[in-house]
Structure 1
Amino acid sequence: MSAADPEELKRAGNDQYRKGCFEEALRLYDRALALCPDNAACRGNRAAALIGLHRLGEAVKECEEALRIDPSYGRAHHRLASLHIRLGHIEDALKHLSLAIPQPDLLELHKLQTVEKHFGRCLDARKAGDWKSVLRESDAAIAAGADSSALLLAARAEALFRLNLLDEADVAISSASKLNYTSSCSPDTKFCGFIANAYLFYVHAQVDMALGRFDHAVSSIDKARIIDPGNTEVITMHNKVKSVARARSLGNELFNSGKFSEACVAYGEGLKQHPVNKVLYCNRAACRFKLEQWEKSIEDCNEALKIQPNYTKALLRRAASYGKMERWAESVKDYEILRKELPSDTEVAEAYFHAQIALKSSRGEEVSNMKFGGEVEAIIGMEQFQLATSLSGVSVIHFMAASNQQCCKISPFVNTLCTRYPSVNFLKVDVNESPAVARAENVRTVPTFKIYKNGIRVKEMICPSQQLLEYSVRHYGI
């Protein structure tokens, strides 16, 4: 291959493209274009390589450059139409499909019509405030071909936010933000009355504020206001975000100064502006906890958990408030959820253990033998086994063999359960080292698990799944 022949470089690039080596193809096309910058076909091929690398905005510009060189270049029109469909640019896609030579691709035309139909329905649903329909139609438009439309992803994020699906909304708006929208669309493009780029920041601000990222929310809405200063929705949201951020900042200052009543008022002012803010509810719950207003603290935690059911800070505060009110069963239930969400958090594990102790004590159960944490205890004789299984509380016996593959596979999980459920006694019997115990318990297959509660066997499982084993431990351990 001659380094000075652009056609040879282009052909070499084509070979790499066909192999899926898009970076190498791009490098070769760049070398060819350095020698012959007005080669429309090479520009088109470079666009194809950029598409392979998911750099769609750059691919649009490359196609446009190819058409500047050769306005009748049909393949560039076709490729540009396909790009605009993916980006959700309906009018641009239609324009280039109509210019494709010798005739428009009927499959692409059908795809465009389907995207346009769902896009229009999405806009109508947003105007009506029908967020379920916004979600459905944005998903349909994306599935139909507009898979790289920042605006549709933002609409999807806004719908998810309005439906209180905050984690999913965060994923959607983050995906929209990663798309280089500004490089592939004119700055005055409109969407639902917004300048398009302002809409992206507008939605981002809402999601950030709901998730407690107040500084990011302020930054996003400031950008939206700069881009689209006359938009009433942007202005309203700008005022709201600023007000809520100020309330949160003031509340934090007052809380840190020990002025818990005043902090409650400050957080309450923020909630008047944004009544679905989990962080403000949780912060006010912390104030009320400090003020020994346990019921009100629980109420605020409940509101936060309505907004985001797995919000760990709210679960922690509610569990602690239940404990202060000696509502131990509810406290233990919250700590159980937290142990799943935060399995390596030793403070949560210890709080869970103490709540279990209190619950058992309130029921008149013996707790003197309970200890926090520990390891799986090895049983080596019948007397030790009988003593262990006669204790009050729950004991889980793992009958195993060191040479057995299934036992080796599940043993680390048993160690995890020992940490996760510190109030349960976990023991193991190696059937080869303690055959008398295995015979007495009629254990013929390993791994076998037996659960004893207050000296009575309540469950036996042979080769259980991890899910069944943990379910059983949790069921009998509370």
Structure 2
Amino acid sequence: PGSEMASDECDSPMDPESDEELEREAEGFKEQGNAFYIKKNYAEAFHFYTRAIDMCPKNASYYGNRAATLMMLSRYREALEDSQQAVRLDDTFVKGHLREGKCHLTLGNSMAASRCFQKVLELEPDHSPAQQELKNAESILEYERMAEIGFEKRDFRMVVYCMDRALESASACHRFKVLKAECLALLGRYAEAQSVASDILRMDSTNGDALYVRGLCLYYEDCIDKAVQFFIQALRMAPDHEKARLACRNAKALKAKKEEGNRAFKEGNFEEAYSLYTDALTIDPNNIKTNAKLYCNRATVGSKLKKLEQAIEDCSKAIRLDNSYIKAFLRRAQCYMDTEMYEEAVRDYEKVYQTEKTKEHKHLLKVAQLELKKSKRKDYYKVLGVEKNASEDEIKKAYHKRALMHHPDRHSGASAEVQKEEEKKFKEVGEAFTVLSDPKKKSRYDSGHDLEDDGDFDANNIFKAFFGGPGGFSFEASGPGNYFFQFG
């Protein structure tokens, strides 16, 4: 940068010899600064250029050199001030205008950057670096325009793409970084958003936008108390920050309503808890993680209120919002078990066990698999019309009733189709009784084991054995459609 001496003017002290001495000394400091700059020791270069400026504060090239050094140190705001001072001292200083433009561009001010590059081209129409930088400035303006449209359409991926392209030239623009971070947060990419916001806060701890984004990430990760602290801090730094104000209000409202719902649930006020969780779900549709928990909480209440279909739907909504939410899969699987939708329950428990291979999850999966297997067999309890905990006496009474109801002799006057159906039912009743009246077979059946193949059940033999009597039996008509059973 040392070849940029554009003016030898210095302050004019009373003594001309003294003036020359200061000039020589300043030039010496500049040369030392140049030597350190070439060696990439920018801190020392900065020190000597500053000494040169102190000696001769009206020399444009000294400010130009120090601006170049500050740019290498990524201190673009200070570099901008030096380059602006340089062109104030010498409006024909091409490198000064070019550096001012680059600082504006790096800081994201494309309009100001364009003016600087156009000034360079006025002074040197064939200046190719300025021509290229002008194109970069125009590209950034276009990316800003596209990002604005993308944000309005909630196309946050487009905004992130545009900001990434813009930041290739405007690497120190906090505005672009914050917009990118906000959109990353809205896309659920919280770690990336936090990282970008934290980088800004390291350089500028009072940046209200970055504080807001940090709060937004915490808010969307369901760390609501911490989020509120960041929103309050953002409002302290930028009292007119509308987004921070709205997010703070939503966060407080969401926390309060969720806690009210939890309290009502613990106190057994399930209808009230259901209503409170429903209210909480209307506060902020964008808060995916908290809303997933609210849906799951409402599903828990729904299952208590025997609203099992609604509970299953709420769990499904929670899972759609957060596919890694194990608690929602477990709750839905239990609801499926309660509604005897065993295939669906097995699918959910499999997902849970693949994610968290615990003994408890393995046990739940095995129970569901067993119930599924059992559901595919004939339900002998349903065939006899008794509960699964029916006593031996209840099973006998049920058989007595069903066997008489479906006995083929009772339906001898019916159509062939009806006779066939009743004969099938009669056989099933005998089969059910054979299994459920035998303690060993019943135990194996209840535990889901396959029963030994005893060949075809002879329903008539079972019937005879149950009713006994040496003289056989018959159904006699006592009038149209009325029959009574008669022992011989």
Aligned to 1:457: none
1:250-329 mapped onto 2 (5 Å cutoff) = 250-255=260-265, 260-276=270-286, 277-289=291-303, 293-329=307-343
Q: What is the identity, as a one-letter code, of the residue corresponding to 1:85?
A: L
- Residue equivalent to 2:162: 140
Structure 1 residues 114 and 322: CA distance shift in structure 2, 3 A: same
Question: Does residue 244 of the first structure (1) align with residue 254 of the second (2)?
Answer: yes
Separation in 2 of the partners of 1:94 and 1:182?
A: 29
- Kept in 1, the 8 Å contact 2:50–2:66? The answer is no
Q: How far did 1:207 drift?
A: 4.8
Structure 2 counterpart of 1:173: 193
**In structure 2, distance between residues paired with 1:321 and 1:29:** 72
**Which structure shows the bigger proportion of residues in helix conformation?**
2
Contact 1:225 1:238 in 2 (8 A): no
Shift of 1:70: 3.5
**1:90 deviation in Å?**
2.6
Q: How many Å separate the matches in 2 of 1:120 and 1:158?
A: 17
Moved more, 199-208 or 327-336: 199-208
Give the match for residue 47 of structure 1: 70
Q: 1:11 aligns with which of 3, 12, 35?
A: 35
Shift in alpha-carbon separation, 1:201–1:320, aligned structure 2, 3 A: farther
| SS in structure 2 of the partner of residue 123 of structure 1 | helix
1:326/1:119 CA distance change after superposition, 3 Å: same
Q: State the alpha-carbon separation in 2 of the partners of residues 345 and 48 from structure 1.
A: 56
Is 2:103 the partner of 1:93? no
Task: Give the alignment partner of residue 142 of structure 2, picking from 103, 108, 117.
Answer: 117
Distance 1:260-1:30 versus aligned 2 partners, 3 A rule: farther
Q: Does 1:61 align with 2:96?
A: no
TM-score by length of 2: 0.54
Give CA-to-partner distance per residue, 1:250-297, whole Å, 9 cap, x none.
334444556554433332222122245223223333444555544333
Q: 1:351 to 1:86 in 2, by over 3 A?
A: farther
Per the TM alignment, residue 237 of structure 1 is displaced from its structure 2 partner at its CA by 4.0
Q: In the alignment, residue 60 of structure 1 is paired with which amino acid?
A: Y
Deviation at 1:119, TM superposition (A): 0.6
Whether contact under 8 Å (1:202, 1:221) holds in the other structure is yes
Contact 1:279/1:304 (8 A) holds in 2? yes
Say which of 309, 328, 332 aligns to 2:346: 332
What is the identity, as a one-letter code, of the residue corresponding to 1:66?
D
The more displaced of 287-296 and 33-42 is 33-42
**Contact 1:228–1:234 (CA<8 Å) still a contact in 2?**
no
| Percent of residue pairs identical | 23
Whether the aligned pair in 2 keeps the contact of 1:86 and 1:147 (CA below 8 Å) is yes
Closer, same or farther: CA 308–79 of 1 in aligned 2, 3 Å: farther
Greater strand share, structure number: 1
Q: CA deviation at 1:115?
A: 1.2
Q: CA RMSD in A?
A: 4.3
Q: Secondary structure at the match of 1:300?
A: helix
The residue number in structure 2 matching 1:192 is: none
TM-score calculated relative to the size of structure 1:
0.55
- SS for the counterpart of 2:324 is coil
1:355 corresponds, among 368, 372, 377, to 368
- The answer for the alignment partner of 1:216 in structure 2 is 226
**Distance in 1 of aligned mates of 2:32 and 2:357:** 59
CA–CA separation in structure 2 for the residues paired with 1:181 and 1:96? 29
Q: Give SS of 1:119's match.
A: helix
Contact 2:258 2:277 in 1 (8 A): yes
- Using a 3 Å threshold, how does the CA distance of structure 1 residues 349 and 60 change in structure 2: closer, same or farther? farther
Q: Quote the residue 1:130 is aligned against.
A: 153
**Aligned-pair CA distance for 1:116:** 0.4
Inter-CA distance 92–331: structure 2 relative to 1 (3 Å threshold): farther
1: distance between equivalents of 2:362 and 2:47? Answer: 61
Residues 260 and 291, structure 1, Cα contact 8 Å, conserved in 2? yes
Counterpart contact for 1:156–1:172, Cα < 8 Å: no
1:246, distance to aligned residue in structure 2 (A): 1.5
Q: Which amino acid aligns with 1:120?
A: R
Give, in whole Å, the separation in 1 of the partners of 2:195 and 2:100: 22
Taking the aligned partners of 1:68 and 1:86, their CA distance within structure 2 comes to 15
| Cα separation, 2, equivalents of 1:273 and 1:297 | 21
- Structure 1: gaps spanning 5 or more residues: 18-24, 52-58, 188-196, 366-478
- Where 1:105 maps in the other structure, the secondary structure is helix
Structure 2 unaligned blocks of 5 or more: 1-27, 55-61, 379-488
Structure 2 CA distance, aligned partners of 1:86 and 1:203?
22
Q: Distance in 2 between matches of 1:268 and 1:274?
A: 12
Distance 2:101 2:367 in 1: 64
- The change in CA–CA distance for 1:184 and 1:226 in structure 2 (over 3 A counts) is closer
Seen in structure 2, the aligned counterparts of structure 1 residues 260 and 208 have a Cα distance that, compared at 3 Å, is farther
Match of 2:130 among 105, 113, 121: 105
Paired amino acid for 1:337: K
Q: What is the one-letter code of the residue matched to 1:11?
A: A
What one-letter code is carried by the residue in structure 2 that aligns with 1:110?
K
DSSP-derived class of the 2:73 partner: helix
Question: Counterpart of 1:274 in 2: which secondary structure?
Answer: coil
